[in-house]
A and B are shown apart, each in its own frame.
Chain A
Amino acid sequence: MRDKCEGEKTSGDGGTSHDHATGRQTIPVERALLEKNDTLAERNRDLFRARGLLVLNVLSAPGSGKTTLIQKTAEALAGRCRLGVVVGDLATDNDAARLRAAGVPVVQITTGTVCHLEADMVARAAAQLDLTALDVLVIENVGNLVCPADFDLGEELRVVLLSVTEGEDKPVKYPPLFHSANIVVITKTDLAAAAGFEREKAWLHLRRVSHHAEIFEVSARTGQGMREWADYLAQLRARRKR
């Protein structure tokens, strides 16, 4: 910070300080760097709420099982909730193709070099879905445990996945994202024994970081824990509808 002579400074104009010697003014701005994203996210949230949609922002490292969980969740909710998906990847529409093949309405966002989704991308993608025909909108974020943490998309809940093959200490290695989670889903529990996954240790780490989160344990592949998870979402959605 520049040194200024007190005698030369005048202040008034909303905290603006003026240095007469140099003719320089310091103007307080106090704006969030992600203000534009935050505004667009609020707009998304208003739109989603007006439609009675339950919106989930699903985040994890690459390969934690986001797409499989979403696909199996859609199946588990069949007949109760209609689920649509917006999926983000740097490239390819492989994930969207998988979900589409399973009969789930899906829009792919390819972000190019961008390592996270932003609210305006979600707004454009959601506009391509018939939201009136949906109950739950799932946003599958780019596989990344760092960057997406800062970007509000207008979701109701943040769902962070931790697969048993990643190690129990992932939450304490990436605290900001796990801290922001409303829900943590431990995935691939069918592989827990093979991966040497220590459940108690994982819960301990999660409890230290993910203070606000409900924790679920599922194997999307075998169906273990999927009913409890799907029932929970259906209840949340029902509450939204009232």
Chain B
Amino acid sequence: MHEVGLIQNAVAMALETVRSRGAGRVHAIRLRIGAMSGVVPEALQFAFDLACRGTPAEGAALEIEAVPAVCWCAACAAEFACDDFLGECPRCHAVSAELRRGTEMELAAVEVS
């Protein structure tokens, strides 16, 4: 997986934010990671400390908001959680083609001072 590259992007964006705000340090980096993104949170954590070393983000906390996968069932006009990745509506058992949430890989916020 490419967690190292993703975390490097996240840290680079956080450092950009720090610079643009005239702040000095990053205390926390908050990511939003979808269950269908294929990203392994543990691997992000593992890469994070290394990516921060020697930067104003050194020692920062990595906070990961996990976004569950949610599909839309057109027949029932309702959302449902798809824990098994297969998108079968628990009410009518139709297969949903519309994954509404769960592919996120985003930098949500940074905490700076």
Contacts and interface: CB of A to CB of B under 8 A. Distances in A.
Contacts of A31: 13, 106-107
A27 B21 contact: yes
B99 interface: yes
Main secondary structure, interface of B, reads mixed
A112 interface: no
Nearest to B40: A146
A95 B109 CA distance: 43
Given A2-B28, A27-B17, A32 B105 contact: yes
A86 to B, nearest CB: 19
B43 to A, nearest CB: 12
B110 interface: yes
Interface string A1-21: 110000000000000000000
Contacts of B108: 28-30
B109 A26 contact: yes
A176 B2 contact: no
Given A116-B2, A150-B2, A207-B95, A29 B107 contact: yes
Interface stretch (A208-216, A217-225, A229-237): A208-216
Interface residues of B, number: 36
A211 B1 contact: no
Contacts of A27: 17, 21, 109-112
B13 A29 contact: yes
Contact of A208 (B21, B27, B95): B95
Main secondary structure, interface of A, reads mixed
16 contacts: A25-B111, A26-B110, A27-B21, A29-B14, A29-B17, A29-B108, A30-B106, A149-B38, A150-B2, A150-B38, A175-B36, A175-B86, A176-B103, A179-B85, A208-B88, A211-B95
Interface of A: 1-2, 22-36, 114-116, 146-147, 149-150, 172, 175-176, 179, 207-209, 211-212
Interface of B: 1-2, 6, 9-10, 13-14, 17, 21, 23, 27-28, 31, 36-39, 63, 85-88, 95-97, 99, 103, 105-113
Given A33-B31, A33-B107, A116-B2, 18 more contacts: A25-B111, A27-B17, A27-B21, A29-B13, A29-B14, A29-B17, A29-B108, A29-B110, A31-B13, A32-B107, A34-B9, A114-B2, A146-B38, A149-B38, A175-B36, A175-B85, A208-B88, A211-B95
